[in-house]
Structure 1
Amino acid sequence: MAGEMSIIGSVILALFLAGYLGQQYLPPPKPRVIGLDLGTTFCSVGVFQPGTGEIEVIEDDKGRNSIPSVVSFTPTGVFSGHEGQELSDTNPQNTIYDAKRFIGKIFDEDTLEKESARYPFKVIFNNRSAEFLVSTNSTFTVTPEFIGSRLLLKMKKMAEKQLGVPIDKAVISVPAEFDERQRNYTIRAANLAGLDILRVINEPTAAAMAYGLHKAEVFNVLVVDLGGGTLDVSLLNKQGGMFLTRAMAGNNKLGGQDFTQRLLQYTVERVRQQYGVPPTLKEDIHLLRQAVEAVKLNLTQEPHVHLRVPLYLQTTGANGAQEEKVLFQEKLTRELFEELNADLFQKILAPIETVLIEGHLEKEEVDEIVLVGGSTRIPRIRQLISQYFGKEPNTSVDPDLAVVTGVAIQAGIMGGSWPLQVSAIEIPNRHLRKTNFS
C-alpha cells in the first residue's frame, strides 16, 4: 500500500514539474475563448492570456479598443462599428443603434411607438417584438439580434486577426435585469455570428471581477454603470466567491450622449449668435458633433478646451442664398459643461438612493463603490458620488473596459487557462425587478 502511495505521489509530482517546466520554457497556448461586452453604445472584446494571466483587450486596425454599437445598411453593403457610425448623419434612416434596448424584449404596440419616437430609423411592431425597417436596394426588416450578430461578428474577426487562430467559443455579458428571454436572444445573436456561448455573466458581476473583488474580503458592492446611453446601478452582496444582486435601479434615458447633446445645443446657439444663422448642413452638424464629443472627453482632464470647426453656413446676401465658409472657434470650460448638465448629473443619485433603500442598507455599509462606463470619468460625477458616500469610489480599473475585463477573466476560467482563477458564481434572484427613472 505504501509503495502504491509512493508511486501515485511521484506521478503527481512529475505532472506538476512538467506543468511548471512547460510554463517556463514552452510558448503559452493561444486563447480559444473570448470575452464579449455587447454594450448599448460601445462593444469590446477581450482575452485572458494563458501563462501570464494578463487581460488583453483586442484593438481594431487603428488601435481602438472598442467599437460603436452601430450598424449601417447601404446599397453597397452592411457596415458595423466605426464604419457604421461614420454613416449615421448621411444615412440616418438605415443606421441602427441602441439595438440592445430592444433585444428579446416584449412590447405592446403603444409602448414601442413611444420608445421608437426618439430614433431617426423606423422601428416596427411585429408579434410583440421590435424590428427595424431598412430601405436600400429593397425594403426589408432586421431583428435586434441580427444587429447584435453583426457587431459580434466584427469583434470575432478582430480577435481572430489578433490571435491568429479561429475562434468559435465565447463568454458574454448582459445587464443584470435581463430576463431569460433577453439572455436567450443575446445568445441567439452570438450564434448567428458563429459563436458558441459557454456562459452568460451579469455586467455588474463582470465589473466586480475586473476590480478583483471576487478574491477580496468585501461584502456589499455598489456598481454604478454610466455609459453612452444608460445608467445602471446594482447592489451586489458577496459571500465567498458568490455574488447575489440585491437591488437594481437606473435610468435608460440618461448617459454620455445626453451630456454631449447639451454641449452641442450650446455650440449651435453660439454659431447662430456669431454668424446670424445656425449650421444646417448634415456634414456641418456631423463635424460639430464629433468636435463636441472630443471636447467632452478632453474636459475630463483639462479645465478648458478650444473648439475649432470649419463650417459652411447657408447665409442670405444681396444675391440671395449663398454658402459661406467660416472657422467657428469657441473656448469651452469644464465649469460651463458642468453648468449645462447640472440637472442631469443630479439625476444619477436617485437610483443610488433607491438600491440602498430596496437593499435595506445604509450608505456607510457599502464596502466598495465600483465605477463602470466612460461617463463615470467626468470629474463632477465622481465628486457627487464621493460626496454622497463620504469616501472615494474605486477607480483602479479603466471604467470603459471594466466589464470586458471581467468577462475575459471568466472566458479564461471557462477555457481552463493557466494560471487558474477564482470563478465568480452568480446566485439567481428571480424575483428582482429593476426600478427605472426617467
Structure 2
Amino acid sequence: MLKHLISNKLPASHPLTYLFLAFITMAGLSYINFMPGLVNALAGDIGFNEAEAGQIVAFNGYGGLIGSIIAIFLVRRIQWQPTMLWCLVLLAAFDLSTVWVGEFSAITSGISDFISILSWRFSAGIFGGLSLGIGFAVLARLNNPDRAFGTLLLIQFSIGSIVMYLLPDLEAQLNAYAVFYVMAGFVILSIVLLPFLPTLGITNPESYTQEKSRSVSLTGSPKNALLLMLGIITYQIAASAIWAYVGLIGLGADMSNDDVSMYIATTGLLGLPGAMLPIISGNRYGRLYWIIAGVAMSVVSAIMLSVTHLTPLLYVIAMSLLFFSWPAIQSYLLAVTAEQDPSGKLSTVAAVVSSIGLASGPLIASGLLSEESFSLMLYVCAAIFVLSFFLLFKPVQAQEKEHSMRLPAQYSS
C-alpha cells in the first residue's frame, strides 16, 4: 500500500488528498491551533509580559497576512507544489532558529529580547502565510469545498487539543521553547506529505472551466462578497482574541497550569464535531441556521468567561461553546466563499482576511487588558461577535435562496 502511494500520486477525489492538503495548509500558521500554549510560554518562562506575548503572536499573524496577500497575486501564475515546498523549508528553518534567537539573546542580555523575537516571528509569518494562501486556493479547487474546509478545521482542532494536552510535558522535558519545536515538526511532516498530492493545477484553464459551473449569480455580487469578508474578519478577531488569552484567563482564576492545559485540550475536542458538521451535511440543510446558532454560542461563551468568580465548570462550558461553534462557522463560511468564486482567488482573499482577524484579535485584546482583568476585552469580543452576524446574514441568506432555486431545476433535469 505504501509503495503504491509513493509511486503514484493520489487521485484528486481521494479522501487522503483532502486530508494531506488540509494538513499542509494548516502547518503554515499552525500556532493558531494552540495559541494559548504559545502565549502562555511567551508570558511564562521565556520572560515576556502578557501584552508583549500578545504582540509577538499578533506580528506573527501580520507576517502571515503579508504572505497571504502575496499568494493572491501568485496563485494563478505559479506551479503551486514547488513554491509550497520552498515556503515550508524556509518556515521550518525560521521556527527552529527562533529557539536559537531567543536563547542567544537571553544569554547575552539576561532576558529574551522582545524586538528580536518580534521581527523573527514576523518573518516566519510571511512564509507561513504564503503557504497558507496557496493551500486555500488549492482546497477551493477540490470538488467538495464543504468537505475540504471542514477537513481543514477538523485537523486544526485535533492538532490544537493534542498539542495543548502534551505541551506541559514537552516543556518539562525540553525547555520553554518546546512549542516552536512542535511548529517546526508539523512543517517537516508537511514536506514529507507534499509529494503524494496530485498536481491540482490552479493555472489549468480546462480545470477552471469545469469548476466554473459551481458559480452562482446572487451570491457572487461584489457587495455580498465584501460583507462576507467583513463578517469573516470580525468573527476571527473576536474568536482569536479569546483564544489567545483563554489560558491566562484560567490561570487568573487560580487554576493550575496543568489543569488549564487539560481543560483546553479536552474542550478543544468539541471542535471535531463542529468541524465535521459541514463534512457530513454539506449544504443539504442550508448553512444559515448553523451560523446563527454558532454566533449565539460564541456570544454566550464570551459573557460566561467574563464572570468575576470564574469556576472550572463555567470555564469548561464557555470554552466548549466556543470550540464547537468556531470551526463549524469558519468551514461553512469558507465553503460559501469557494462557491462565490470557483477559481480559488476569492478563497485566497479569505485567507488574507482570516489572517487579518487572527493577527488583530490578540493585538486588540492586549490593548484592552486592565490590571490583569479580562472583562472589558471579553465584553468587546461579545459585541464583535454580534457585529459579525449582521455582516454575514445577507450574503449567506442570498446563497440559501440561490441554492433553493437551483434544487428544483436539478430534480427536473
TM-score normalized with structure 2 length:
0.31
User: Relative contact order (C-alpha < 8 Å, sep 6+): which is higher?
Assistant: 2
Higher helix share: 2
TM-score (normalizing by structure 1): 0.30
